[in-house]
């Protein structure tokens, strides 16, 4: 996706949540569910919408194609033309549903008809049919319109213009697709957000406007006839956020319809600090897990437990929009294993957001095969892993045993391989009570020569995907002096086999320097990057745009455990190390 505005709303919601966690002054709204009208006891027999949602699991998003905005249509945001082979690949990879975001903005005629460009709609429908031909469920929505004209629907100063356009667009879409298979479902509006032309409005007013939008949407579709009289409709919470007040508002809207063919949807991109690597949250820790479980629990309690199916229309990690290197790879894999496990336990379907950076749309292969392997395995079982997938050994420690705790998730360890060579239990390693100990005599074989990854140890389990542990020979990284400018300052780093985990930036008084100065730990890609082929850590122009002149102390945290201090002085547009 081109998520400039989309990301802004997600971050706004996440910052509020994270700020609350830091302050610990606002209690969780645990009793908000009591405000739900006519809330029922947990449903034991699956309803139509619950069954439909579970049939969509797992799902995938065709992002940044038909939702892109620009004169070149579906290729405007850098992706190639969608091919039938791509859709066939999605099916062959095990996905059961596909969300095909559609942006009407820039593709409709003048008021009052707002006629959708027929060529574009016909082309979009061709891809929908390709998906149906593969037996996939298909979700149709209007997408980035949320950040253009649609945010003014029912605005006090809009005179009904935006609602008129909304009704016109959905009237056309409903009529166009009304004879299509029941495997096509309609989503009213992506990540809805509402404001006045003169400025923002309260959350309560926004929820009232969303209820009106969802009501108009349902009326239009149901009155269009054909298969639309019983077509599954997907209604979002405000901002597709999982807070109690937003879930309660949507539940009340849905329950008022008394319509068995309605599902709820929300989006989830993880605990924000982990999702973008900020505030020192670099591992899939207990706080990150708690955020995930509480989010899905809220949605389950409001909807699934009351007979309303739920689909997470988008899930992933926000860091994917900027860099695949922002989050340590093993921690990333743990996140995807856990979210698939937990969502499944709650009967909630997941649709992976892919803007073209996950499944390559030219070669039809995964850019990160280990990620896909983890996803695929997690659809049917749990995966196992060690505390970290990275081991760092210095020369002086080469003969020491190394112990690794395993999280088995109900599996058993079968064997360990280094390439095609099977490690010998009792000689190369020992195993007891979930702890693998590599013998120093085995580790010592690899600790010589150049620094870097010396062996990839593959753990095999009774179920789930293999888990790789990378054995790295390293010594303490060395930083060199440098001069440069605020357009992008390169710090020469001899990584010496280690890798950067996170970076702190503080002024002399200890306060945070750079963007998001509520934390000293900076966000990867936004404030800094690491390049292991050119041996530099780069402070971005965005970092310096939020910095005062003077001395800034950097603390570079490495995955091997070292923390190295590096001082710089900013003077106007000039930067130099001290």
- pLDDT per residue over 240-272, tens digit each? 999 999 999 999 999 999 999 999 999 999 999
Q: Which of 197-206, 274-283, 315-324 is predicted with the least confidence, judged by mean pLDDT?
A: 315-324
Whether 315 and 353 have beta carbons less than 8 Å apart is answered as: yes
If you classify domain 27-378 with CATH, what class do you get?
alpha beta
3-state secondary structure of 23: helix
- Average pLDDT of the residues in 531-540: 98
Q: Is the pLDDT of residue 22 over 90?
A: no
d(CA 73, CA 127): 14
Check whether domain 385-473 has CATH 2.60.40.10, yes or no: yes
Q: How confident is the model at residue 322 (pLDDT cuts 50, 70, 90)?
A: confident
- Cite the residue boundaries of each domain of the chain with CATH code 2.60.40.10: 385-473
d(CA 273, CA 523): 8
Phi–psi pair at 326, nearest 5 degrees: -65, -35
Q: Which CATH number is associated with domain 478-577?
A: 2.60.40
Q: For residue 25, what are the CA distances in angstroms to 12, 28, 49?
A: 19, 10, 38
- For residue 558, the surrounding DSSP H or E stretch is strand 550-558
Q: Give the Cβ contact number of residue 159 at 10 Å.
A: 10
Phi–psi pair at 20, nearest 5 degrees: -65, -40
Q: Is the pLDDT of residue 23 over 80?
A: no
Q: Is the pLDDT of residue 89 over 60?
A: yes
Q: Tens of pLDDT along 426-439?
A: 999 999 999 999 99
Q: For residue 244, what are the CA distances in angstroms to 36, 302, 344, 349?
A: 10, 8, 21, 20
Q: Tens of pLDDT along 170-224?
A: 999 999 999 999 999 999 999 999 999 999 999 999 999 999 999 999 999 999 9
pLDDT at 39: 39
pLDDT at 324: 80
Q: Tens of pLDDT along 94-118?
A: 999 999 999 999 999 999 999 999 9
Q: What is the mean pLDDT of the chain?
A: 93
**Within a 13 Å sphere around the CA of 322, how many CA atoms are in the beta-carbon half?**
16
pLDDT at 37: 41
d(CA 67, CA 46): 33
Q: Exposed (0-12), middle (13-18) or buried (19+): which is 556, by Cβ within 10 Å? A: buried
Q: How confident is the model at residue 321 (pLDDT cuts 50, 70, 90)?
A: confident
- Cite the residue boundaries of each domain of the chain with CATH code 3.20.20.80: 27-378
Q: Tens of pLDDT along 386-410?
A: 999 999 999 999 999 999 999 999 9
Residue 251 sits at the vertex; the CA angle it makes with 246 and 253, to the nearest 5 degrees, is: 100
Q: Which of 3-17, 461-475, 532-546 is predicted with the least confidence, judged by mean pLDDT?
A: 3-17
- For residue 175, the surrounding DSSP H or E stretch is helix 161-177
Q: Tens of pLDDT along 330-383?
A: 999 999 999 999 999 999 999 999 999 999 999 999 999 999 999 999 999 999
Q: Of 74, 129, 130, 86, give the one whose Cα is nearest residue 358.
A: 86
Pairing of strands 184-187, 233-236: parallel
pLDDT at 1: 37
For 8-115, list the strands marked E by DSSP: 59-61, 97-102
Q: Would you please indicate which residues are annotated as catalytic (active-site) residues?
A: 191, 314
Paired with 453 in beta bridges are: 472
Q: Is the pLDDT of residue 16 over 60?
A: no
Q: Give the Cβ contact number of residue 433 at 10 Å.
A: 6
Q: Tens of pLDDT along 138-166?
A: 999 999 999 999 999 999 999 999 999 99
Residue 160 — left, alpha, or beta (φ > 0 → left; ψ -120 to 50 → alpha)? Answer: left
d(CA 243, CA 238): 9
More confident residue, 7 or 208: 208
Whether 285 and 237 have beta carbons less than 8 Å apart is answered as: no
Whether 537 and 529 have beta carbons less than 8 Å apart is answered as: yes
């Amino acid at each position: 996706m081109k998520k400039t505005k989309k990301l802004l709303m997600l971050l706004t919601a996440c910052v509020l949540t994270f700020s609350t966690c830091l302050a610990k002054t606002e209690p969780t709204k645990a009793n908000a569910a009591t405000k739900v009208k006519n809330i029922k006891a947990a449903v034991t027999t699956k309803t139509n919408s619950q069954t439909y949602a579970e049939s969509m699991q797992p799902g995938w998003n065709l992002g940044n194609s038909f939702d892109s905005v620009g004169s070149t249509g579906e290729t405007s945001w850098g992706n190639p033309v969608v091919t039938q082979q791509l859709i066939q690949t999605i099916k062959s990879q095990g996905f059961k549903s596909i969300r095909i975001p559609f942006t009407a903005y820039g593709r409709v005629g003048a008021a009052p008809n707002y006629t959708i460009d027929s060529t574009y709609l016909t082309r979009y429908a061709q891809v929908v049919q390709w998906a149906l031909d593969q037996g996939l469920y298909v979700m149709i929505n209007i997408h980035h319109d949320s950040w253009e004209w649609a945010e003014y629907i029912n605005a006090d100063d809009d005179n009904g213009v935006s609602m008129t356009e909304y009704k016109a667009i959905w009237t056309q879409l409903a009529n166009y697709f009304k004879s299509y298979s029941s495997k096509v479902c309609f989503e009213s509006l992506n990540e809805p957000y509402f404001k006045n032309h003169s400025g923002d409005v309260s959350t309560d007013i926004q929820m009232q406007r969303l209820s009106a939008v969802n009501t108009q949407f349902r009326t239009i579709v149901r009155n269009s006839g054909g298969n639309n009289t019983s077509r599954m409709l997907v209604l979002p919470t405000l901002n597709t956020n999982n807070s109690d007040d937003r879930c309660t508002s949507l539940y009340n809207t849905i329950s008022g319809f008394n319509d068995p063919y309605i599902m709820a949807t929300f989006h989830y991109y993880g605990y924000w600090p982990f999702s973008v690597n900020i505030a020192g949250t670099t591992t899939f820790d207990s706080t990150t897990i708690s955020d995930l479980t509480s989010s899905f629990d809220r949605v389950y309690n409001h909807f699934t437990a009351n007979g309303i199916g739920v689909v997470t229309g988008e899930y992933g990690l926000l860091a994917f929009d900027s860099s695949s290197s922002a989050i340590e790879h093993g921690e990333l894999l743990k996140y995807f294993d856990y979210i698939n496990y937990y969502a499944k336990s709650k009967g909630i379907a997941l649709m992976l957001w892919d803007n073209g950076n996950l499944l390559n749309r030219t070669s039809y292969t995964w850019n990160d095969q280990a990620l896909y392997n983890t996803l695929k395995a997690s659809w049917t079982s749990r995966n196992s892993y060690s505390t970290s997938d990275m081991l760092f050994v210095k020369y002086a420690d080469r003969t020491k045993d190394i112990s690794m705790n395993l999280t088995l998730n109900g599996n058993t360890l079968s064997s360990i391989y280094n390439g095609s060579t099977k490690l010998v239990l009792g000689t190369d390693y020992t195993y007891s009570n979930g702890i693998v100990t590599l013998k120093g005599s085995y580790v010592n074989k690899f600790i010589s020569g150049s620094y870097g990854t010396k062996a990839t140890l593959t753990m095999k389990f009774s179920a789930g995907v293999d888990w790789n542990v990378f054995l790295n020979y390293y010594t303490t990284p060395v930083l060199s002096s440098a001069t440069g400018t605020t357009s992008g300052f390169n710090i020469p780093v001899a990584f010496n086999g280690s890798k950067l985990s996170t970076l702190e930036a503080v002024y002399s008084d200890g306060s945070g320097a750079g963007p998001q100065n509520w934390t000293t730990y900076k966000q990867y890609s936004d404030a800094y990057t690491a390049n292991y082929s050119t041996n530099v850590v780069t402070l971005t122009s965005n970092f310096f745009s939020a910095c005062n002149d003077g001395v800034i102390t950097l603390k570079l945290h490495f995955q091997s455990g070292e923390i190295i201090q590096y001082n710089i002085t900013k003077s106007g547009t000039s930067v130099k190390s001290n």
